Structure 1
Amino acid sequence: MNPKAKSGNLFKLPVRENLSGEKFENLLVRPGLRVERIISTGQASPLGFWYDQQISELVVLLSGAAELQFADENEPHRMMPGDWVQIDPYRRHRVNWTDPSQPSIWLAIHY
């Protein structure tokens, strides 16, 4: 017996009242791999906070707009739909800004 295929739509948003904060949804989890959808609605990393994760990550911005900052770079990465960034392990980074006027939908692949 085959289980039903898991499927969905990356652009379908949760009910409006559930968009008060950033939303994380795991799409696929396997040993050494996690694929997630993130919906940001104007959120940013807390002041002074840097992600410093031990695994690699590829992020793709599917809709909206955002700005990523890396601790080892002076200029931030302004991201528009279709832009992607590869983040190596232990490369400190933060989200400076996400568009407050529309949802920013990310596809993040952690490996």
Structure 2
Amino acid sequence: MTLTNQKAVTTGHIFDALPRDLDTELFDILVENNNVKIERIVSNGHSSPDSGWYVQDRNEWVIVLQGEATIALEDGHTVSLIAGTHLNIPAHTKHKVIWTKEKTETVWIAVHY
């Protein structure tokens, strides 16, 4: 079948090419357009810097596919995430990653919309 006036169809595997030694978190943009960005994040004992918060103009929905993490919200709440747990963070909500499991890759999908 020939597709006309369409971009190439792509495929991949979310667990492909997971680095074993990470000095910093890995962010891979999987899909992006004017309305949405979907990225894979790989953490291994990483957390956000002590100073500052993430504050974004778009909503962010995250799901942990493998590993574990804890996110802190500016209002003092923390959310623990294990494989299969998801969280929606409204735009302009201050948040940070305060913990990810060490010695294992925590694989996230983040959807910014």
After TM superposition, give the deviation of residue 75 of structure 1 in Å.
Answer: 3.3
Matching of residue 13 in structure 1 with residue 17 in structure 2: yes
Q: Deviations over 1:14-59 (max 9, x none)?
A: 3435x33211111101111100000011110111221111110100
* Alignment map for 1:1-111 (pairs within 5 Å): 2=3, 4-17=8-21, 19-72=22-75, 74-111=76-113
Question: What is the CA–CA distance in structure 2 between the aligned matches of 1:15 and 1:97, rounded to whole Å?
Answer: 19
Gaps of 5+ in 1: none
Aligned-CA RMSD value: 1.5
Specify the structure having the higher radius of gyration (Cα).
Answer: 2
**Count of residues in Structure 1 that have an aligned counterpart in Structure 2:** 109
Q: How much identity, in percent, do the aligned residues show?
A: 30
Q: AA paired with 2:83?
A: P
Q: How far apart, in 2, do the equivalents of 1:15 and 1:65 lie?
A: 17
TM-score by length of 2: 0.88
